[in-house]
C-alpha cells in the first residue's frame, strides 16, 4: 500500500486551496464576488493594457554646471574670510577656477585646507603658478550620480502616484537612466508634462515684518515673495518669504520619520557644507520662521528655537505618521534636482494591449489544451492526473502573481507557457521511469515508488539550472525580461510541487483503491 505522511497530505491540500483562493479574483469577475475572499488581481503590463513608456536620462553635465555656479560663491566667501586676494574667479562646466594674488598667500591656511572646509569631496589642482582649479574627485562624482539617480526615481514616483495611476513601473537603468512605464496612460505628452518639474527644494527665511493685512492685499517689500502653502488644511495659506535662497535643498542628504515626546517628527540631515550654512542661519535667526519650499510651495515654516550646529534638526508640527512620512519623502525627493532628457518615448494603445491579451490567452490556451490531449492519449488515467497537476500549476502561478501584485507582460505569458511544458516534462520523466522499473520485473508498488525517487534527481537538476538562469535574467535584465524571469521562476517552483507531491498523492489514491497490478498505460 502506497501512502504519504499525514502532514504532507494536509500541506498539499492547504497549498491547493490557498492558491485557488488567491487566483479566484482573476477568474471570477462578477459583482457578486464575496468580500471575504482575496481581492488582489494580477496587474497587466504596458504591452497588455496599453499606456506610455519613457526612458529618461539625467543631464549630469547641466546639473554640475549649476552646482559649480553655486560653489563659486562659496569659494569667494571662503577666500575673503581668510583674507586671501584673488582674481579671475570663474565657474566652468566641470570646475571652479581662480588665480591667487601671491602677496596674500604667505600667511594662513593653504588653498587645499580652505577648499576642504567647504566640502571634503572637493580636490584642488594647481594648474600653473598661483592658478588653481577646484573640482570633485572621480569617486565623489560617481557617488553624486548614483545619489542623484536614486532621488530622481523618488521624485518621479511621487509625481506619478499623485495622479492616482495604478502600478507604474519606475526603475533605474544603468547609472544615469530611469525607465518609466505607466499602464493605462495613452498619451506620453501627459506623462512628460507630469514629470516636467524638477522638484527644486530651497529654504527661505520668512519676512516677519509683513503684516497679515499686507499679506492679504499682496503688498510686500522688495526682495520678498508671497508663496502659497502646499498643505490645503494649513491655517496659513500664504507665506511672505525672502526671495534670496538661504539654503539649497541639494545639500540635504537624508530625512526620516522619528518621534519626539511620543509625537511623529521629521529628522533631516545636511552634508558638511549644508551643516555649516544651516548652523550659521539658525544661530543668527533664533525665534524666526524658516520656510521649506518645494516646487514654489511652502511645505512647512517652523520657528527656529535655537542654533543647530550639527547639521541635523527636526521639523515639529501636528503630524500624523502618514503626513510625517510624506514630508520626509518630499525632503529626500527634492534633495538633488537635475534636468532629465527624454531619450526614448512610445505609447501602446489599449486596443493593441487588448489584442496582446487575447493573443497571449490564446497561445497559453492552445499550449495547455495540446499538452493535455497528448498526455491523455499517451498515458490514459495517469495523463488525467498529469493534467490536473498542470491546471493546479497554472493556478499557483496566477495566485502567486496576484499575491505579489506583480506586473504581467507578454513575455511573462510566454514564461507561463514555457513552464506548462516543463511541468508535463517532469511527469513524463516519472511515468517513463515507472515503466522502466516495471519492465525489470519489480512490483507495481516498487515501480511507482522508484519512479518518483529515481526521477527526482533528474527533475531537480534540470529545474535548478533553469531557475538559476531565470535568476540571472531577473538580476541583469530589465522591464519585460524581468517579467519573463518572474513567471518562469514561479512556474519552475510550482511545477516541482505539482509533479512530485500532488501527482504522487493522486497516484497513491488510485493504487490503494484499484489494487491494480499494472500501469494504466
pLDDT(514) > 50: yes
pLDDT confidence of residue 390: 92
Between 190 and 390, the higher pLDDT residue = 390
Q: How many Å apart are CA 470 and CA 463, to the nearest integer?
A: 10
Tens digits of residue pLDDT in 47-99: 777 778 888 888 888 888 877 877 887 888 888 888 888 888 888 888 888 88
pLDDT(2) > 70: yes
Q: Would the CA dihedral through 71, 76, 79, 80 be positive or negative?
A: negative
Q: What is the mean pLDDT of the chain?
A: 82
pLDDT(494) > 90: yes
Half-sphere exposure at residue 278, Cβ-oriented, CA atoms within 13 angstroms: 26
Tens digits of residue pLDDT in 298-332: 877 888 888 888 888 777 766 788 777 767 766 66
pLDDT confidence of residue 428: 92
Cα 279 to the center of its chain, rounded Å: 34
Of the candidates 415, 395, 405, which has an alpha carbon nearest to the alpha carbon of residue 486? Answer: 415
pLDDT confidence of residue 418: 86
Between 502 and 153, the higher pLDDT residue = 502
pLDDT(296) > 70: yes
Contact 492, 464 (CB under 8 A): no
Q: How many Å apart are CA 430 and CA 293, to the nearest integer?
A: 67
Poorest-confidence range of 6-10, 103-107, 338-342, 495-499?
103-107
Q: Which CATH number fits domain 200-339: 1.20.1600.10, 3.40.50.720, 3.30.1360.200, 3.40.50.2300?
A: 3.30.1360.200
Contact 215, 177 (CB under 8 A): no
User: Residue 196 — very low, low, confident or very high, per pLDDT cuts 50/70/90?
Assistant: low
Percent of residues, the chain, with pLDDT higher than 70: 89
Q: How many Å apart are CA 377 and CA 371, to the nearest integer?
A: 10
pLDDT confidence of residue 61: 82
β-bridge partners, 131: 99, 128
β-bridge partners, 86: 100
Residues 229-250 have a mean pLDDT of 77
pLDDT confidence of residue 159: 67
pLDDT(217) > 50: yes
Q: Phi/psi at 515 (nearest 5 deg)?
A: 55, 35
pLDDT confidence of residue 108: 53
Tens digits of residue pLDDT in 377-389: 999 999 999 999 9
Tens digits of residue pLDDT in 316-325: 766 788 777 7
- The burial class, CB within 10 Å (0-12 / 13-18 / 19+), for 57 is middle
pLDDT confidence of residue 377: 92
pLDDT confidence of residue 229: 82
pLDDT(180) > 70: yes
Contact 159, 312 (CB under 8 A): no
pLDDT confidence of residue 336: 46
Q: What is the 3-state secondary structure (H, E, C) of 229-251?
A: ECCCCCCCCEEEEECCCCEEHHH
Contact 360, 67 (CB under 8 A): no
pLDDT(163) > 50: no
Cα 208 to the center of its chain, rounded Å: 42
pLDDT confidence of residue 165: 43
Domain covering 6-45+350-514 in this structure, CATH number: 1.20.1640.10
**Does an H or E element contain 253, and which?**
strand 252-260
Poorest-confidence range of 186-190, 369-373, 375-379, 474-478?
186-190
User: Residue 492 — very low, low, confident or very high, per pLDDT cuts 50/70/90?
Assistant: very high
Q: How many Å apart are CA 178 and CA 164, to the nearest integer?
A: 20
User: Residue 339 — very low, low, confident or very high, per pLDDT cuts 50/70/90?
Assistant: confident
User: Residue 117 — very low, low, confident or very high, per pLDDT cuts 50/70/90?
Assistant: confident
Q: 274 Cβ partners below 8 Å, 6+ apart? A: 247, 248, 251, 252, 253, 311
Residues 203-225 have a mean pLDDT of 87
Residues 421-449 have a mean pLDDT of 90
* CB crowding 153-185: b at 16 or more within 10 Å, else e: bbbbbbbbeeeebeebbbeeeeebbbbbbbbbb
Residues 261-274 have a mean pLDDT of 84
pLDDT confidence of residue 66: 75
Amino acid at each position: 500500500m502506497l501512502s504519504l505522511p499525514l502532514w504532507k497530505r494536509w500541506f498539499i491540500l492547504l497549498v491547493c486551496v490557498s492558491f485557488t483562493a488567491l487566483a479566484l479574483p482573476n477568474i471570477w469577475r462578477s459583482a457578486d464576488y464575496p468580500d471575504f475572499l482575496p481581492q488582489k488581481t494580477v496587474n497587466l503590463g504596458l504591452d497588455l493594457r496599453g499606456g506610455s513608456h519613457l526612458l529618461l536620462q539625467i543631464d549630469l553635465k547641466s546639473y554640475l554646471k549649476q552646482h559649480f555656479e553655486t560653489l563659486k560663491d562659496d569659494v569667494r566667501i571662503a577666500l575673503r574670510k581668510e583674507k586671501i586676494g584673488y582674481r579671475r574667479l570663474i565657474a566652468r562646466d566641470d570646475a571652479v577656477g581662480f588665480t591667487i594674488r601671491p602677496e596674500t598667500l604667505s600667511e594662513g591656511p593653504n588653498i587645499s585646507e580652505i577648499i576642504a572646509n567647504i566640502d571634503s569631496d572637493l580636490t584642488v589642482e594647481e594648474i600653473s603658478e598661483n592658478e588653481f582649479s577646484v573640482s570633485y574627485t572621480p569617486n565623489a562624482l560617481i557617488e553624486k550620480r548614483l545619489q542623484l539617480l536614486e532621488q530622481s526615481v523618488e521624485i518621479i514616483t511621487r509625481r506619478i502616484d499623485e495622479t492616482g495611476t495604478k502600478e507604474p513601473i519606475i526603475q533605474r537603468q544603468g547609472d544615469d537612466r530611469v525607465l518609466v512605464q505607466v499602464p493605462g496612460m495613452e498619451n506620453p505628452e501627459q506623462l512628460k508634462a507630469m514629470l516636467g518639474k524638477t522638484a527644486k527644494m530651497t529654504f527661505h527665511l520668512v519676512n516677519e515684518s509683513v503684516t497679515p493685512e499686507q499679506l492679504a492685499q499682496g503688498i510686500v517689500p522688495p526682495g520678498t515673495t508671497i508663496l502659497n502653502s502646499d498643505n490645503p488644511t494649513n491655517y496659513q495659506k500664504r507665506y511672505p518669504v525672502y526671495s534670496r535662497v538661504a539654503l539649497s535643498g541639494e545639500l540635504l542628504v537624508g530625512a526620516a520619520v522619528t518621534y519626539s515626546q511620543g509625537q511623529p517628527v521629521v529628522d533631516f540631515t545636511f552634508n558638511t557644507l549644508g551643516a555649516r550654512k544651516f548652523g550659521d542661519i539658525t544661530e543668527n535667526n533664533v525665534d524666526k520662521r524658516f520656510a521649506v519650499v518645494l516646487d514654489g510651495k511652502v511645505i512647512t515654516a517652523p520657528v527656529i528655537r535655537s542654533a543647530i550646529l550639527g547639521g541635523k534638526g527636526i521639523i515639529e508640527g501636528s503630524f500624523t505618521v502618514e503626513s510625517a512620512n510624506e514630508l520626509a519623502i518630499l525632503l529626500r525627493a527634492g534633495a538633488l534636482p537635475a534636468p532629465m532628457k527624454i531619450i526614448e518615448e512610445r505609447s501602446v494603445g489599449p486596443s493593441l494591449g487588448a489584442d496582446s491579451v487575447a493573443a497571449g490567452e490564446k497561445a497559453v490556451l492552445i499550449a495547455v489544451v495540446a499538452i493535455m490531449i497528448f498526455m491523455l492519449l499517451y498515458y490514459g488515467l495517469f495523463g488525467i492526473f498529469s493534467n490536473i497537476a498542470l491546471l493546479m500549476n497554472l493556478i499557483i502561478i496566477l495566485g502567486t502573481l496576484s499575491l505579489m501584485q506583480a506586473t504581467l507582460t507578454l513575455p511573462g505569458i510566454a514564461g507561463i507557457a514555457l513552464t506548462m511544458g516543463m511541468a508535463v516534462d517532469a511527469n513524463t520523466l516519472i511515468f517513463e521511469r515507472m515503466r522502466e522499473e516495471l519492465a525489470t520485473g519489480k512490483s507495481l508498488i516498487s515501480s511507482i515508488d522508484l519512479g518518483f525517487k529515481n526521477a527526482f534527481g533528474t527533475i531537480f537538476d534540470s529545474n535548478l539550472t533553469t531557475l538559476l538562469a531565470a535568476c540571472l535574467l531577473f538580476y541583469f535584465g530589465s522591464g519585460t525580461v524581468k517579467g519573463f524571469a518572474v513567471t518562469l521562476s514561479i512556474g519552475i517552483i510550482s511545477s516541482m510541487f505539482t509533479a512530485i507531491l500532488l501527482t504522487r498523492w493522486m497516484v497513491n489514491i488510485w493504487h490503494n483503491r484499484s489494487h491494480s497490478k499494472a500501469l494504466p498505460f
